[in-house]
Structure 1
Amino acid sequence: MNQLYKNQSYIYKALLFICASFLIVYIFPKGGVFKYEFTKGKPWQYDNLYAPFDFAIAKTPEEVAADKAKIAENSIPYFEYDTVIANRAKQAFSETFASNLKVLDLSSSGDQARLFGRVLLNDIYRYGVLEERYAYDEKRQIYLNKGNQAEAVSYGQLLTSDQLTSLINSRIDNSEYAKFKNGFIALFYDLVSPNVRLNRELTESSLQNEIDKVLTTRGSVSKNSRIIAKGEVVEGIKLQMLISLKSEYESQVWSDKNFYWIVVGYSVLVSLALLMLLLFLRKYRKDIFDNNAQVTFIIFNVLVMVIVTTLVVKYKANYIYIVPLSILPLVLKAFFDSRVGLFTHVITVLILGFVVPNSYEYTFLQIIAGIVTILTISESFRRANLFLSVGQITTNYILAYIAFHLIHEGNVNTIDWTTVLFFVLGGLATLMVHPLIYAYEKIFGLVSDVSLLELSDTNSKLLKELSDKAPGTFHHSLNVANIAEAAANEIGANSMLVRVGALYHDIGKMANPTFFTENQSASGNAHDVLSAKESAKIIIDHVIRGVEIAKRNKLPDRIIDFIRTHHGTSTVYYFYSKEKEVNDNVLIQDFQYPGPKPFSKETAILMMSDSVEAASKSLKNPTSSLIDTFVEKIINKQMAEGQFLNSNITFKEIQQVKKVFKRKLTNIYHLRIEYPE
C-alpha cells in the first residue's frame, strides 16, 4: 500500500492514458484503411497494382449528378384532369345559355348558336384548363390522367387562363355571333372553371423511381487484372479505378477476426501517439508532467478535438474544416507555452489522420495552421492580436487549399468556394477561444494571461485595500513587481505571472501593518513593547495571513504560491540575534519561515527581488559599487542557504538577474558613474 501511495501519480497517468486511448479507438470507424496514398495527376509510386477481388468502377459524383439531371429534364410530369368540373359545366350549359343570351336563344338561329357554344365548350375541356401556370416547355410531353386512363399530350395543349380568353375571343370574332360577344364571354365566364392540376406526388415519385435506377458504376474490374503500373500517371479511368477499389476495400464487411485485428492496429497507433505526448512532457516539461490536473487538461483537449472531428467526419465529412482545430494550440499556449501547444497540436492532427478523408492534405493544412497560430499569436489577452492571428490562420488555410486544388485539377475554374467559406467559418469559430479559456480556468484551476492582466490592475478591490491599510507595503510591492518583471524578461520567465505574484505577495501584512518597517511612522516602533520571539511570530505570520486572505478572495493557486514561497525557509535574523542576546538556548526554528522554498524560476525571482528591494531601503549614500556589493551579498546568502535548490533556475540565469537588479537600483537612486580621482 505504501508503494502504491508513492506511485499514485504514475498510476493515475497510466489510467488516464489507457482511458484516453480506449475512448479514441472506440469512436474511430472500424473499417479497413486503404494502404496506398495517391494524388490525381501524380505518378503511381508503388509497384504494379492488381485487383485483389472483383469490383465495379464507380462513376464520379459529377457524372452521377449529370445523369440524374438528364433524367429530371426528360421526365414526364403527371397532370390530373377533373372530369366532375367539366361535366358540371356541360350540364349547366343550356340554363346558362338561356340566361346570358336570351335574345339569341329565342331567335330562329338559337339552335345553331347553342351548337356553336357546345362545340366551343367541348374544345375548351378537350384537354382542360390549368389551375396555375407551370415552368414547362409547350412541347414537353405530359401524362393527362382522366380517371383510370392516362393520355400522353403536350403541355401546350392545356389551356392557361390567358390562352382561354384568347381562344374564346378568337372563335367568337370569327363566327356569325360576333355581335353577341359580350353575352358569350359572360356565358363562358360563368361556366368554365380550371380542372387540371399537376400531380406533384405522382410526378416526384415517378422521377425518384427513375433516378433510383441510375447506375453509379460503369464497367467492372476482374480479380488479378492490372489496375495501374508503377510510374503511370493517376488520372482518368485509372483514377476512378483506384477510387473505386479504395471505396470497396473500406466498405466491405469484415469478419470478427479482421475486426479485432483492426482494433488492435488502431490501439497500437493511438497509444504510441499519446505515449509520445506524455514522454515529451516528462522530458521537457517536468513541472507539467508532475501536475496531474494539467496532464488531464491537455489530454482532455486532445480528446475533445478528436471526438468532435470524428463525429463530423462520420455524419457530414464536407464540414470537416469548420472544426476550429487551431483553438487547441491557442488554448495550450495561453496556459503553458508555445512548444507544448504545437507538439500537442501535431500529435492530435496525426491521430485524426487515420479517419479524415484526404489525410495528407488535411494533415498538411492543419499542421501549417498550427505553426501559424503559434508564430502569430502573442499576448493573447489583447483582442486585436487574436483577430489578426485568426485572419492569418484563415488566409493560410485558403492559400494552401487553393494550392492543393491547382495540383489536383490544374486550373482555378473548378475551385469549390463552399470549402473556402468553411475555412472562413472555422476561423470565426476560433474566436470562441476567450470564453473557452475562461471556462477552463474555472474547471481546471488554471491561470491564463487574461486573468493575470485582470489581477495586475491596481484598482482591484484587494490591492485597493492593501494601499489603504498598508500604503508602505503597497509601494514596496509595486517596486518589487517592476524589478521582478524586468528580471523575468531577461531570462525568459513568465514576466506577467511574476508581476502579479509580486503585487500580492505581501497582502498578509494588512493584518498588522504597523509592525512592518515600511508602514511605520517616525513616532515609534510597535516592536519595542514585544519580545523578540513575539515580534518574529508576527513577522512570520504575514505569510500565513497572506495565504488566508488570498484564499478568501479566491486568488488562483499559482498566485498563492508566490505568497507561500517569497521568504522560503529563511530566518528572521534581526529578531533571532536579538533573542540570542538574552537567551542562549534559543531555537532557530522559532525564527524561520515555514516555507516551502521557491520551486520555479518565477517564485525564485520574486524571492530575490523582495529581499533586494526591501534591504535597499537601509542603504545610506548608495553608490554603484555599494549597490553591486549589496546585491551580490543578499543573493549569495540565499544561494548558500539552499533557497533555490527546488527551482529550475540556473547559475547563469541568477547572474543575469543580479545584473538587472543592479541596473534597476542604480536607476532608482539616480546614481551617476563613479569617475576615478
Structure 2
Amino acid sequence: MEDSLDKLYKNQGLIYKYILYVVTVGCIVFFFPRGGKFKYEFQKGKPWQYENLYAPFDFSIRKGEAEIAEEQQAIRERQIPYYTYDTAVVEEVSQNFLLDFQESLEDEQLSDSQKGRLTRIGEEVLVELYQNGILQKASGRDTPDDLYLVRNNEASRIRADALYSLSQVDSVVRGILNTRRAEQFYPLYQEVLFNALKPNVTYDAELSEKELADELSRISTTRGNVDEGKLIIARGEVVEAENLNILNSLKAEYESELWSENSQYFILFGYTILVALVLMMLFLFLQKYRPAIYRNNVKVTFIFFNVLLMVFLTTLVVKYDETYVFVVPLCILPLILKTFFDARLGLFVHVLTVLILGFVVPNSFEYTFLQIIAGIVTILTVSELYKRANLFISVGQITLIYIVGYFAFHIIHEGTLEDINIYTFGIFILNGMITLFAQPLIYIYEKIFGMISDVSLLELSDTNSRLLKELSNKAPGTFHHSLQVANLAEAAANAVGANAMLTRVGALYHDIGKMNNPTYFTENQVTNVNPHDDINPKESAEIIINHVIEGIELAQKNNLPDRVIDFIRTHHGTTRVYYFYKKELENNPEAEEADFTYPGPIPFSKETAILMMADSVEAASKSLVNPSYPVIEEFVEKIVNGQMKSNQFLNANITFKEIEMVKKVLKQKLTNIYHLRVEYPE
C-alpha cells in the first residue's frame, strides 16, 4: 500500500497531465456540432477535384439565402393589408348627427315636411359616407391600392378608393345636395356633419402582421429533389450555378443532426480521435523542445486553457451566426503565448488550434489560411509589448492581412469586385479592436497563473519602486552593486539570446536580503569598523549565507514573482563562503564545510546562470588593485572556470559556447568600467 502511494505521489505531475489531456479533449468535442462532416471540399469557380459524385441518397435542393430573401421581399411587396370597420363609431355618429341636426332645424323657419325631407337627406349622406367607411390616415404609412376590410368578423377585398377620407366629405355632401336640389341648405349640413363625423376604418397591424407571418412561413426552403444515384457533378467540372447549389444542399443534408442521428456516436468518436491527435502533438512538442514548460503543470494548464478558450468562443459564435466567425480574436493566442514563453511555441499552438477549428467553421480552407497567415504576422511583428505603440502597430498589420486576404479570396471566387461586402471589412476591424484587449488579459493571467510578462518586468525594473528605494536607503553599497551586476548581466543575456529584461530585474533584486544586516557586507561599510571582527568565522558565514533566505522571505512578503525569486535563490548556488571557511580552518582544521556552504539550489536556467557569473565577477572585481585587460581576462576566467569546476551550471540550459560569450562580454564591460585615464597635471 505504501509503495503504491509513494508511486502515486512521485507520478502525480504525470497523472495530472493525463487528466488535463482527457478533460480538454472531452470539452472540445462537446463544443463541436453533432452533425457529420462533409468529406469533400469545394469552392465556387474551382473545378471538382474528386471522382464523379453521385447522390448517395434522396435529398431536396435547398434554396439559397438570397433566393429566400427575394421571395420574402416579393410577398411583403404584394401583401394586402387588413383594415377594421368599426360599426360602433357609425352608430355613435348617427345619433349625434340626428340630435344636433334636429336642434339646428328648430332655428329654421321650415315646415315639418321640409324638416323631414332634410333629415332624410342627412341620413342618406351618412349612409353614403359609411357604406364602406371613412378611413383614418395612419402616420408614416401609405394607403395601398387594395385592402381587406374586416366587418363583423368577415373580410372583403375592396379598392382603397372605395373608402372616403375626411377631406372628401365636403364633395360628397355637395354632390348629394345638388342631386336632391337642396344646395341652399349646405351651410346647415356643413356645421353639423363636420362636428359629428369620425373615421371608422383603421389599419389592423396585428392581423396584417399575422397574415404576413403565415404567408412567409409557407415559403418552401427547397425546390426540386435529387434522386439517389443521380450524377451531381463530374470530375473536372467547374463548380458554379446549379451544381454549386446542389452540392451545398447535399452538404447541409449530410451534416444535419437529423440525418446523422443514427451515426452520431461514431461521428463523436471520430472527432475525439482527431482532437486527441492534435493535442498529443502539443504534448510531444512540449516534452521534446520545451521540457521546462512540460514539467511545470501550471504552464501546461495555462496553454491548454487558452486553446480551450479560443475553441469555445469560436464554436459559440459559429452556432450563433457563422458570419461573425472572424470577430473572434484568435491572434490573441500567439500574442499571449509569445509574451509568456517564446515565438516558436506561440506559433505552434496557434496552428494546432486553427487545425481544430477547421472542423467547425465554414469555408475551412479560407479560414485556416487567413488565421495561419495572421498568426505568423503576429509572431513576426509583436515585440516589446511594454511599449504601448508596438501593440497598436501589430494589430493594425494583423487587421490589414485579414482584409487583404479576404479581398484576394473574393476575387478568386467571384472574378469581380462588384459584390464585395464592405461589412466584412468592419468585422476584421472589430477583430483588431478586440485584440487590443491582450494588454489587460496579460495582467489578468499574471494574477491567476502567477506568471510574469515584460510589462511587469519593466515595472519591477523601476529603481524608484518601494523595495529598491528601501534597498538604496538601507544598503546603498549593495544597491550600487546590484545596478552594476544588472548592467553586466543584461549585456551578457543579450549576447546569448536569453531574456535580458528578466535577467536585469533578477539582478536588481538578487541581494535584497542584505537589507536586514547591511553593515556585515563590505560594500556597505563606510568606516574601518568591521562587525565580523567581533564574531567567529562560523557566525559570520551564517550571516552571509542567511541573506539568501532572508531575501526570499522579503521577496515573498512583497509579492515578487516566482521567476524573480529564483534569481535570489540561485545566485550563489551551492558555493562556499570561502573567506570565512579558510579563516575557520586556521583555528579549527576539522571545520565542517557544510556550515560554510550556501543551501542552493544551483542555477537552473540560462538567465540565473548568467547572474551567478556576473554577480561573482562584479563583487570580486572590487579587489583588483591595478586592473588591466590581461589582469581582468585572467580574473574572469578564474572565477567562471571555478564555478564550472564546482558544477554550478549543471542544471542550466547554457552551453560552453554561450559561457564563453558571457565571459567575453564581462571582460569587455569590466575593461570599460576600469579603463585607465590620462593623469592630468596638478
**Which bin holds the TM-score, normalised by the shorter protein?**
over 0.9
- Alignment-mate amino acid for residue 38 of structure 1: F
Alignment equivalent of 2:535, drawn from 523, 530, 533:
530
State whether structure 2 residue 437 is matched by structure 1 residue 432. Answer: yes
State whether structure 2 residue 465 is matched by structure 1 residue 460. Answer: yes
Distance, in Å, in 2 between the alignment partners of 1:139 and 1:262 is 54
Question: Which secondary structure does the structure 1 equivalent of 2:130 belong to?
Answer: helix
The equivalent of 2:239 in structure 1 is 234
Alignment equivalent of 1:389, drawn from 375, 394, 397:
394
> Are the aligned partners of 2:54 and 2:231 in contact in 1 as well (CA < 8 Å)?
yes
The equivalent of 2:101 in structure 1 is 97
- Alignment-mate amino acid for residue 16 of structure 2: Y
Distance, in Å, in 2 between the alignment partners of 1:273 and 1:546 is 43
Alignment equivalent of 2:74, drawn from 70, 73, 79:
70
- Which whole-Å deviations, capped at 9, do the CAs of 1:100-154 have from their partners, x for residues lacking one? 4655573785555444433332222222223333666656211101113322112
> Are the aligned partners of 1:97 and 1:105 in contact in 2 as well (CA < 8 Å)?
no
State whether structure 2 residue 17 is matched by structure 1 residue 13. Answer: yes
Question: Which secondary structure does the structure 2 equivalent of 1:144 belong to?
Answer: strand
> In the TM superposition, what are the counterparts of 1:402-481 in structure 2 within 5 Å?
402-481=407-486
- Which whole-Å deviations, capped at 9, do the CAs of 1:176-203 have from their partners, x for residues lacking one? 7666655433212221112111112211
Question: Which secondary structure does the structure 1 equivalent of 2:462 belong to?
Answer: coil
- Which whole-Å deviations, capped at 9, do the CAs of 1:206-247 have from their partners, x for residues lacking one? 111111111211211111010000110000100001000001
Alignment equivalent of 1:621, drawn from 622, 626, 640:
626
Which stretch shows the higher mean deviation, 117-126 or 450-459? 117-126
- Alignment-mate amino acid for residue 65 of structure 1: A
Residues 173 and 349 from structure 1, CA distance in 2 versus in 1: closer, same or farther, beyond 3 angstroms?
farther
Residues 667 and 164 from structure 1, CA distance in 2 versus in 1: closer, same or farther, beyond 3 angstroms?
farther
The equivalent of 2:316 in structure 1 is 311
State whether structure 2 residue 268 is matched by structure 1 residue 263. Answer: yes
The equivalent of 2:91 in structure 1 is 87
Which stretch shows the higher mean deviation, 511-520 or 353-362? 353-362
State whether structure 2 residue 69 is matched by structure 1 residue 59. Answer: no
State whether structure 2 residue 336 is matched by structure 1 residue 331. Answer: yes
Question: Which secondary structure does the structure 1 equivalent of 2:131 belong to?
Answer: helix
Question: Which secondary structure does the structure 2 equivalent of 1:468 belong to?
Answer: helix
Distance, in Å, in 2 between the alignment partners of 1:78 and 1:362 is 48
The equivalent of 2:226 in structure 1 is 221
Alignment equivalent of 2:211, drawn from 206, 210, 214:
206
Residues 101 and 671 from structure 1, CA distance in 2 versus in 1: closer, same or farther, beyond 3 angstroms?
farther
> Are the aligned partners of 1:138 and 1:156 in contact in 2 as well (CA < 8 Å)?
no
Question: Which secondary structure does the structure 2 equivalent of 1:79 belong to?
Answer: strand
Alignment equivalent of 2:595, drawn from 590, 593, 616:
590
The equivalent of 2:54 in structure 1 is 50
TM-score (norm: length of structure 1): 0.95
> In the TM superposition, what are the counterparts of 1:363-378 in structure 2 within 5 Å?
363-378=368-383
Distance, in Å, in 2 between the alignment partners of 1:155 and 1:651 is 97
- Alignment-mate amino acid for residue 373 of structure 2: I
State whether structure 2 residue 611 is matched by structure 1 residue 606. Answer: yes
> Are the aligned partners of 1:53 and 1:222 in contact in 2 as well (CA < 8 Å)?
yes
> Are the aligned partners of 2:105 and 2:115 in contact in 1 as well (CA < 8 Å)?
no
Residues 54 and 257 from structure 1, CA distance in 2 versus in 1: closer, same or farther, beyond 3 angstroms?
closer
Which stretch shows the higher mean deviation, 117-126 or 208-217? 117-126
State whether structure 2 residue 671 is matched by structure 1 residue 666. Answer: yes
- Which whole-Å deviations, capped at 9, do the CAs of 1:327-354 have from their partners, x for residues lacking one? 1111111111111111111111111111
Shift in Å at residue 166 of structure 1?
6.4
Unpaired runs of 5+ residues, structure 2, are none
Shift in Å at residue 324 of structure 1?
1.4
Distance, in Å, in 2 between the alignment partners of 1:105 and 1:117 is 18
Distance, in Å, in 2 between the alignment partners of 1:165 and 1:224 is 73
State whether structure 2 residue 18 is matched by structure 1 residue 26. Answer: no
Distance, in Å, in 2 between the alignment partners of 1:671 and 1:157 is 112
The equivalent of 1:284 in structure 2 is 289
Shift in Å at residue 421 of structure 1?
2.0
State whether structure 2 residue 576 is matched by structure 1 residue 576. Answer: no
Distance, in Å, in 1 between the alignment partners of 2:165 and 2:138 is 7
> Are the aligned partners of 2:96 and 2:196 in contact in 1 as well (CA < 8 Å)?
yes
Distance, in Å, in 2 between the alignment partners of 1:435 and 1:659 is 40
- % identity of equivalent residues: 58
> In the TM superposition, what are the counterparts of 1:155-170 in structure 2 within 5 Å?
155-164=160-169
Distance, in Å, in 2 between the alignment partners of 1:391 and 1:168 is 73
Distance, in Å, in 2 between the alignment partners of 1:255 and 1:207 is 34
Aligned residue pairs total 673
Which stretch shows the higher mean deviation, 194-203 or 85-94? 85-94
Distance, in Å, in 1 between the alignment partners of 2:289 and 2:400 is 32
The equivalent of 1:351 in structure 2 is 356
Which stretch shows the higher mean deviation, 20-29 or 457-466? 20-29
Question: Which secondary structure does the structure 2 equivalent of 1:404 belong to?
Answer: helix
Q: CA RMSD in A?
A: 2.1
Residues 619 and 161 from structure 1, CA distance in 2 versus in 1: closer, same or farther, beyond 3 angstroms?
farther
Distance, in Å, in 2 between the alignment partners of 1:330 and 1:177 is 91
> Are the aligned partners of 1:598 and 1:604 in contact in 2 as well (CA < 8 Å)?
yes
Residues 571 and 162 from structure 1, CA distance in 2 versus in 1: closer, same or farther, beyond 3 angstroms?
farther
Question: Which secondary structure does the structure 1 equivalent of 2:574 belong to?
Answer: coil
Residues 566 and 170 from structure 1, CA distance in 2 versus in 1: closer, same or farther, beyond 3 angstroms?
farther
- Alignment-mate amino acid for residue 28 of structure 2: I
- Alignment-mate amino acid for residue 142 of structure 1: L
> Are the aligned partners of 2:136 and 2:201 in contact in 1 as well (CA < 8 Å)?
yes
The equivalent of 2:40 in structure 1 is 36
Shift in Å at residue 467 of structure 1?
0.6
Distance, in Å, in 2 between the alignment partners of 1:663 and 1:25 is 57
- Alignment-mate amino acid for residue 27 of structure 2: L
- Which whole-Å deviations, capped at 9, do the CAs of 1:401-436 have from their partners, x for residues lacking one? 222222222222322333322222222111221221
Distance, in Å, in 1 between the alignment partners of 2:252 and 2:432 is 31
Residues 640 and 160 from structure 1, CA distance in 2 versus in 1: closer, same or farther, beyond 3 angstroms?
farther
> Are the aligned partners of 1:329 and 1:341 in contact in 2 as well (CA < 8 Å)?
yes
- Alignment-mate amino acid for residue 50 of structure 1: Y
Shift in Å at residue 172 of structure 1?
7.4
> Are the aligned partners of 1:129 and 1:164 in contact in 2 as well (CA < 8 Å)?
no
State whether structure 2 residue 241 is matched by structure 1 residue 244. Answer: no
> Are the aligned partners of 1:137 and 1:156 in contact in 2 as well (CA < 8 Å)?
no
- Alignment-mate amino acid for residue 61 of structure 1: E
> Are the aligned partners of 1:505 and 1:562 in contact in 2 as well (CA < 8 Å)?
yes
Shift in Å at residue 301 of structure 1?
0.8
- Alignment-mate amino acid for residue 198 of structure 1: Y
> Are the aligned partners of 2:318 and 2:360 in contact in 1 as well (CA < 8 Å)?
yes
Question: Which secondary structure does the structure 2 equivalent of 1:648 belong to?
Answer: coil
- Which whole-Å deviations, capped at 9, do the CAs of 1:13-40 have from their partners, x for residues lacking one? 1121111111211221221110000000
> In the TM superposition, what are the counterparts of 1:292-307 in structure 2 within 5 Å?
292-307=297-312
